[in-house]
Amino acid sequence: MSIRAPRKGENYELSVDLNSEYRDKRKDAIKRVIASMTVGKDVSGLFPDVLKNMQTEDLEQKKLVYLYLMNYAKTQPELVILAVNTFVKDSEDPNPLVRALAIRTMGCLRAEKIIDYLCDPLQRALRDDNPYVRKTAALCVAKLYDLKPELVIENGFLDQLHDMISDSNPMVVANTVAALTDIHIAATSNQPTDTTSNPAVFSITSAVLNKLLIALNECSEWGRVAILNALARYEAQDDKESEHICERVVPQFQHVNGSVVLAAMKVIMIHIRNVRRDDLVKQLIRKMAPPLVTLLSSPPEVQWVALRNINLLLQKRSDLLSNEMRVFFCKYNDPLYVKIEKLDIMVRLASDNNVDALLSELKEYSSEVDVDFVRKSIKAIGQTAISIESAAERCVNVLLELINTRVSYVVQEGVVVMKDIFRKYPSTYEGVIPTLCANLEELDEPEAKASLIWIIGEYAEKIDNADELLGIFVDSFTEESYQVQLQTLTAVVKLFLKKPDSSQGVVQRVLNTATKDCDSPDVRDRAYIYWRLLSTDPGAAKAVVLAHRPPISIPRTTVSPALLEELLGEISSLASVYHKPAQTFVGHGRVGADSVQRQGSEISDAQKALQTVVAGQQAENLLDFGEDPAQDGQPSGLAATQILPSTPAAANFLSGTSANPLDDLVSIFGSMGTEVVGAGSAAALSQTSMSVSSPFDFGGLSAPSSQPTQNAQPQEDLLGLF
Amino acid sequence: MAIDGLIILDPAGRPIIQSSYSCYPTAYPMLHIEALNNALEKAPRGGSVDPVIYVAELSCSSACCHVEVGGMRFLATISEDADPLIAFAFLDTFIEILHDYFGTVNLATLKDNFDIVYQLLEETLDSSGHPLTTSQNALSDIVLPPTLISKLLASVSPSATGVPSGRQGGSFGLTGASGAFASPIPWRKAGVRHNHNEILFDVVEDMRAIVGKNGMTLVSNVFGKIESNAKLSGTPDLTLTFTNPSVMTDCAFHPCVRLQRWTRDNSLSFVPPEGRFILADYQYKPPQGAVISNVPIPLSLKANVDMGEFGGTFTLTLTSRSMKVMENVELELYLGEDATSAQCTLSSAGSGVGSVGSADGSWSFDSRKKMLRWEILNMRSSGSWILRGSWTSKIKAPRPAHAFQIRFEIPSFSFSSLKVDQLRLSGETYKMYKGVRMRSKGSLEWRW
């Protein structure tokens, strides 16, 4: 039994007022009870008093009492039983609003005991004359299924729902579809194998399809989204039917609500796969652009979601917005998350025609205050240079201008980007090397330093004072980060192979330091390899260290083609915003009436999910550079960092992928490396590379035991294993 | 599509109102609130937080979408693979509903009317995550808006007026029931009666543009909206035609508009909802063939900014290029994190005869936001205004924003010169009052 409130204090006063003879005083008291409840005060002691006020003509008061009941139903289900009679009575009230309210509230109570009383009223409500009651009842069936699926099946509610797809009222149809979809999801997520015999599975037949297409134009925005989501699941019989669906759905692009537009876009992207008529495909694609542009005039939050989806759509249909790059120009006042997405899309849309406009924008952004954004802009310049060959020179000129500003982070990012341009266009822009070297002193970030060292090493024969410049880094070798150490080591060896006369001393010094004073196994091992190579066969050393590297390119997609297809099917969902398949991060939120105590055990599920995401991320990184074998399995700074913007909100999962290209060594074993990487799994990578390392197991040099523990630098680890 | 619930946080990040979350563990809403508050805390000053925050702590990982309104945060939590855009669209709709009910949305009004907010929440969002009734026409039948009378009644002693008010509540339930949802048209109430029938259209065009350093327009888009306010009896069937419908491109319409008619003869045929609604959205694009396809910007800015050590000086000249009077012209420049003060003088050099100098302009410096603001309430055609001044900064090389933000309004003007031809009424016999108003506004980014 409930405990009576003490005879004084706030609750006592409330209890007196709840029993007042005056209606308004009682109603006012209920409001105060609700107010206390929402700020977290315990007013459960007033339960019997509040319950007395449930039977009333005043709908507003009734709603407030129901609100109270819903709040305490979870913690004190035994009390709610007291209210059951009123609910059942209300479900037969002449006022349809009261009937609907009773049904809706009973569905929300989620108390096992009350469910048994729900079936009869629900049965009636599903057949109610009033569409408002029917559409409320439809959703209630889904809730009941969540709690006790067997009740739904026994009572034939499912068949009734299927009949209701033919309801005359479009809103009832929409809610019925929503309910059936919920039931479908609940049923299939529990036992995914058994799909045909399960009556709860909502299979959309062509008869259903036609009803949905008719209701689509009649119902509210939310109803439309529900119907569109169902249409996305439909498997068309032939291309004619796909065309029909596309043609019927396209008008939804003209809805004011952005979520309807995106849901329609999802349906089109799915069914367009089967459309054979080229003219129709062209027409559909043309019609997709304007609503996307319109979404960009929305508030920043909506813009962001839209931009994430546009980014995905563009990976599949690069022609989608080819004339619209200007719409994506960043404004100073845009939030950073919007700017970064816009930047990514602008680079995607870059072509010969608009590259000048793009470059002058990027240059503009590079003078802004926000450091992150400036860096991303400079990266974008590099990406443009790499993807559009004819514009490379203009890009380099812009970069030079930026480097000449001498703003520290601009210079550093510029150097990193220049290195990638050198990779793509070897021996083309050597004229800029003096400018880069002039900024040597200002570099303090490992990646920038490593990039400059790589450039010096690569073009050592053309830089007169290369030994001097590299000498600076050799002097401070032990203080540098491993990244810089590795790069210094390689650059000095390159220098030695190119100009053996002047650099004998420096190469001796660096090999000595690296093998004796360095605590990184990777650096040490690499130094040993070089040493061994140089001492046994300088010719082989030349063939290895100075080997020709295939130029890099930037993948058009940031996700694998298979994943892209999957994500396109989920346009407008969380998956498409995160660019991650849904199952890696979404679980089932709702819990049954009695499963709250299972909480503890479920926490491990969350951790599992987390690991999956991390693994997925890792696999993605690897896939990313394994995609194009010509890339010698090496995402250089640019390609690798492209992954970063693709996961803004899930960034906490994202391990930094700023691994510097330690290209030279990897490229030697390039052919082997890519095959392995193509397999796409980190485990396979480490294993096979272990075996690869054995032929190079010179003399006393044993394969080091450093396993790739940090997923942050798979590439470096790969190097370390050699 | 599953919006699990909605939570409203006060400016301090504490929840004031939240939906019931009856199907979820008790900690569920708290975790989302915490995730949001943590993210906001971590964000740099004035920095932005990702609008969709991923919450992984719980067994059922989910995300929360949030927007800020009047200092408060409205957050919608979504689980499963829901559409964040639905969450934002719903938040938007819900906030719009609150505006309609209370006039303004702020902490005080929400606290005063929390019972109504709760009822609205119950009616608009089902606990299974599906948005329900969000059309204002239908909602006003099931949740009574706070009226002057109900407030008056509440303020006097409850015992004195107990009976009549109770009856009012009861009777409303019954009459509302007959009307609500019995209407064959989902967006329109059945049986509306007005003594005076009228429908008003406000065509509002919004220009968004970026002007480059050299004064060339880089981007300019004009987004138009036809806002309507209908007070019509019965079931009026309206047909709205334009003399130049071709200026409207990429249109999006309220569901009441018959799309087939628009595709056939570019006329808008519809049975309007009651009250305020947006009939159509469109984009205005100047006729093809022009060399520069940008809509001309109705003002120009000449900016001379000299950066010095610990500050700088500037001379800004704003010139109106509009044929109409521009109002509430507002120019803003962010002077950088380390700006400390600004000093300016205003003058106006115009072709106008009686130019009155500083009388129609004012400037200010917001030392908290580091924002220099210059306002001109009334800018007549082809006049010029000048702002000269200087600012100081704590650091040697100040870093102000390289773009001015300019906003303006032009009453009785539209960029597209969209013209309504006529509005025909069928299905009803009464005479109605019709009104069309044009209005334009713009927000520009002017780089220097």
Residue in chain A closest to B168 (alpha carbons) equals A58
Same domain? B26 vs B136: yes
Q: Total domain count for chain B?
A: 3
pLDDT at A139 over 80: yes
Reading phi first (left if > 0) and then psi (alpha if -120 to 50, else beta), residue A470 is in alpha
- Point out the least confidently predicted range of A514-528, B39-53, B215-229, B318-332: B39-53
Reading phi first (left if > 0) and then psi (alpha if -120 to 50, else beta), residue B289 is in left
Same domain? B126 vs B221: no
pLDDT of B226 reads 94
**Arithmetic mean of pLDDT over chain A:** 76
The tokens for A37 are 């409840």
Same domain? B350 vs B234: no
> Per-residue pLDDT tens for A386-406?
888 898 999 999 999 998 888
**A579 and A312 Cβ atoms separated by less than 8 Å:** yes
Q: How far apart (Å, rounded) are the C-alpha atoms in residues B414 and A682?
A: 60
User: Tokens 């390392």 map to which residue?
Assistant: A693
The closest of A177, A176, A200 to A189, measured between CA atoms, is A200
Q: How far is B195 from chain A (nearest CA, A)?
A: 28
User: Tokens 């519809």 map to which residue?
Assistant: B270
Same domain? B421 vs B404: no
Average of pLDDT values for B407-425?
A: 91
pLDDT of B344 reads 87
Average of pLDDT values for B357-366?
A: 73
**Domain assignment present for B183:** no
pLDDT at A583 over 90: no
CA angle B253–B255–B260, rounded 5-degree value: 75
A 534-593 residues inside an 8 A Cβ radius of B: 570, 572-575, 577-578, 582, 585-591
A35/B161: higher pLDDT: A35
A 692-711 residues inside an 8 A Cβ radius of B: none
Return the number of other C-beta atoms located less than 10 Å from residue B261's C-beta. Answer: 14
Return the number of other C-beta atoms located less than 10 Å from residue A86's C-beta. Answer: 18
> Per-residue pLDDT tens for A226-274?
899 889 888 888 888 999 999 999 988 888 888 899 889 889 988 988 8
Which residues does residue B387 pair with via DSSP β-bridges, in sequence order? B316, B346
Q: Which of B146, B171, B189 is the last residue of a domain?
A: B146
Task: Band the pLDDT of A69: cuts 50, 70, 90.
Answer: confident
Task: Band the pLDDT of A7: cuts 50, 70, 90.
Answer: low
Q: Which of B26, B85, B114 sits opposite A572 (nearest CB)?
A: B85
pLDDT at B223 over 70: yes
**A542 and A497 Cβ atoms separated by less than 8 Å:** yes
Backbone angles phi, psi at B55, to 5 degrees: -115, 115
CB pair distance less than 8 Å for B60 and A590: yes
A414/B151: higher pLDDT: A414
CA angle A277–A280–A281, rounded 5-degree value: 85
**A38 and A70 Cβ atoms separated by less than 8 Å:** no
Kindly give, in sequence order, each residue whose CB lies less than 8 Å from that of residue B148, ignoring residues fewer than 6 positions away: none
Question: At what angle are helices A239-249 and A258-271 packed, to 10 degrees?
Answer: 170
Residue in chain A closest to B128 (alpha carbons) equals A143
The closest of A104, A100, A102, A105 to A72, measured between CA atoms, is A105
Q: Which of A97, A293, A327 sits opposite B176 (nearest CB)?
A: A97
Task: Band the pLDDT of A216: cuts 50, 70, 90.
Answer: confident
pLDDT at B193 over 80: yes
Same domain? B270 vs B323: no
**Domain assignment present for B185:** no
Same domain? B393 vs B424: no
Number of DSSP helices (H) and strands (E) in chain A, helices first: 38, 0
Return the number of other C-beta atoms located less than 10 Å from residue A356's C-beta. Answer: 11
ipTM of the complex: 0.84
Q: How far apart (Å, rounded) are the C-alpha atoms in residues A271 and A347?
A: 28
CATH of the domain at B128: 3.30.450.60
pLDDT at A153 over 80: yes
pLDDT of B21 reads 77
Q: Name chain A contacts of B132, Cβ cutoff 8 Å.
A: 136, 222
A528/B397: higher pLDDT: A528
**B97 and B120 Cβ atoms separated by less than 8 Å:** yes
pLDDT at A377 over 90: yes
Q: How far apart (Å, rounded) are the C-alpha atoms in residues B194 and A590?
A: 47
Same domain? B95 vs B16: yes
Average of pLDDT values for A596-613?
A: 42
What is the 3-class SS of chain B, one letter each residue?
Answer: CCEEEEEEECCCCCEEEECCCCCCCCHHHHHHHHHHHHHHHHCCCCCCCCCEEEECCCCCCEEEEEEEECCEEEEEEECCCCCHHHHHHHHHHHHHHHHHHHCCCCHHHHHHCHHHHHHHHHHHECCCCCECCCCHHHHHHHCCCCCHHHHHHHHCCHHHHHHHHHHHHHHHHHHHHHHCCCCCCCCCCCCCCCCCCEEEEEEEEEEEEEECCCCCEEEEEEEEEEEEEEECCCCCEEEEEECCHHHEEEEEECCCECHHHHHHHCCEEECCCCEEEEEEEEEECCCCCCCCCCCCCCEEEEEEEEEECCEEEEEEEEEECCCCCEEEEEEEEECCCCEEEEEEEEEECCCCCCCCHHHHEEEEEECCCCEEEEEEEEECCCCEEEEEEEEEECCCCCCCCCEEEEEEEEECCCCCCCCEEEEEEECCCCCCEEEEEEEEEEEEEEEC
Residue in chain A closest to B293 (alpha carbons) equals A326
CB pair distance less than 8 Å for B80 and A589: yes
**B16 and B79 Cβ atoms separated by less than 8 Å:** no
**Domain assignment present for B169:** no
Q: How far apart (Å, rounded) are the C-alpha atoms in residues A269 and B240?
A: 34
Q: What is the DSSP letter of A44?
A: G
Average of pLDDT values for B233-253?
A: 90
pLDDT at A599 over 50: no
Same domain? B271 vs B356: no
pLDDT of A479 reads 87
Average of pLDDT values for A66-90?
A: 80
Chain B CB within 8 Å of residue A461 CB: no
Chain B CB within 8 Å of residue A402 CB: no
β-sheet with B3-9: strand ranges across: B15-18, B3-9, B72-78, B62-69, B52-55
A717/A133: higher pLDDT: A133
A 295-354 residues inside an 8 A Cβ radius of B: 297, 299-302, 304-306, 326-327, 329, 331-333, 335-337
**Domain assignment present for B190:** no
Q: Name chain B contacts of A582, Cβ cutoff 8 Å.
A: 81
Q: What percent of chain A has pLDDT over 90?
A: 10
User: Tokens 């809706």 map to which residue?
Assistant: A104
Task: Band the pLDDT of A36: cuts 50, 70, 90.
Answer: confident
- Point out the least confidently predicted range of A678-692, B44-58, B358-372: A678-692
pLDDT at A365 over 50: yes
pLDDT at B400 over 80: yes
Return the number of other C-beta atoms located less than 10 Å from residue B389's C-beta. Answer: 18
Kindly give, in sequence order, each residue whose CB lies less than 8 Å from that of residue A407, ignoring residues fewer than 6 positions away: none
Question: At what angle are helices B148-155 and B158-179 packed, to 10 degrees?
Answer: 150
CB pair distance less than 8 Å for A24 and B159: yes
Domain ranges of chain A: 458-546
Q: What is the DSSP letter of A199?
A: T
**B403 and B447 Cβ atoms separated by less than 8 Å:** yes
Q: How far apart (Å, rounded) are the C-alpha atoms in residues B210 and A326?
A: 10
Q: How far apart (Å, rounded) are the C-alpha atoms in residues A559 and A562?
A: 8
Kindly give, in sequence order, each residue whose CB lies less than 8 Å from that of residue A279, ignoring residues fewer than 6 positions away: none
Same domain? B424 vs B275: yes
> Per-residue pLDDT tens for B260-293?
889 889 899 999 988 888 899 998 887 765 555 6
Domain hosting B364: range is: 299-411
- Point out the least confidently predicted range of A519-523, B26-30, B241-245, B401-405: B26-30
**A233 and A185 Cβ atoms separated by less than 8 Å:** no
Q: Which of B146, B162, B183 is the last residue of a domain?
A: B146
pLDDT at B241 over 90: yes
CATH of the domain at B225: 2.60.40.1170
DSSP for A622-680, written as a single string: HHHHHS-GGGTT---HHHHHTTGGG-SGGGGGPPP------HHHHHHTHHHHHHHHHH-
For β-strands B3-9 and B15-18, DSSP reports them as antiparallel
**Domain assignment present for B379:** yes
Q: How far apart (Å, rounded) are the C-alpha atoms in residues A213 and A228?
A: 9
pLDDT of A408 reads 86
Mutate to test the interface with A, among B83, B113, B204 (most CBs of A within 10 A): B83
The closest of A458, A434, A371 to A408, measured between CA atoms, is A371
Chain B CB within 8 Å of residue A407 CB: no
B125/A674: higher pLDDT: B125
pLDDT of B172 reads 40
Highest mean pLDDT among A637-651, B182-196, B213-227, B275-289: B213-227
Same domain? B322 vs B355: yes
Q: How far apart (Å, rounded) are the C-alpha atoms in residues A657 and A634?
A: 12
Task: Name residue B316's amino acid.
Answer: L
CB pair distance less than 8 Å for A588 and B221: no
Kindly give, in sequence order, each residue whose CB lies less than 8 Å from that of residue A216, ignoring residues fewer than 6 positions away: A224, A227, A228, A231, A248, A249, A252
Chain B CB within 8 Å of residue A368 CB: yes
Q: How far is B265 from chain A (nearest CA, A)?
A: 16
**Domain assignment present for B187:** no
Chain B CB within 8 Å of residue A279 CB: no
Q: Which of B108, B126, B146 is the last residue of a domain?
A: B146
The tokens for B34 are 């915490």
The closest of A284, A285, A297, A362 to A322, measured between CA atoms, is A285
**Domain assignment present for B165:** no
Kindly give, in sequence order, each residue whose CB lies less than 8 Å from that of residue B101, ignoring residues fewer than 6 positions away: B113, B116, B120, B143, B145, B146
pLDDT at A662 over 90: no
Chain B CB within 8 Å of residue A614 CB: no
Q: Name chain B contacts of A356, Cβ cutoff 8 Å.
A: none
Highest mean pLDDT among A39-48, A680-689, B225-234: B225-234
pLDDT of A399 reads 92
Q: Which of A25, A171, A262 sits opposite B83 (nearest CB)?
A: A262
A57/B328: higher pLDDT: B328
The closest of A255, A186, A260, A256 to A223, measured between CA atoms, is A260
Chain B CB within 8 Å of residue A220 CB: yes
Q: How far apart (Å, rounded) are the C-alpha atoms in residues A474 and A457?
A: 13
Q: Which of B158, B259, B337 sits opposite A25 (nearest CB)?
A: B158
A 222-241 residues inside an 8 A Cβ radius of B: 222, 225-226, 229
> Per-residue pLDDT tens for A609-642?
444 444 444 443 333 333 333 333 343 434 333 3
Average of pLDDT values for A584-593?
A: 44
The tokens for A242 are 């796909």
pLDDT at A517 over 90: no
Same domain? B25 vs B94: yes
pLDDT of A198 reads 72
Q: How far apart (Å, rounded) are the C-alpha atoms in residues A265 and B66?
A: 24
pLDDT at A570 over 90: no
The tokens for B226 are 């036809």
The closest of A99, A74, A71 to A87, measured between CA atoms, is A99
Q: Name chain B contacts of A95, Cβ cutoff 8 Å.
A: 173-174, 177
CB pair distance less than 8 Å for B61 and A585: yes
**Domain assignment present for B152:** no
Q: How far apart (Å, rounded) are the C-alpha atoms in residues A294 and A647?
A: 24
CA angle B377–A335–B88, rounded 5-degree value: 95
Q: How far apart (Å, rounded) are the C-alpha atoms in residues B197 and B194?
A: 6
What's the maximum distance between 2 C-alpha atoms anywhere in chain B? 75
Distances A141 to A107, A152, A228, A295, B421 between C-alpha atoms, Å: 8, 7, 21, 35, 50
- Point out the least confidently predicted range of A301-305, A705-709, B107-111: A705-709
Same domain? B335 vs B249: no
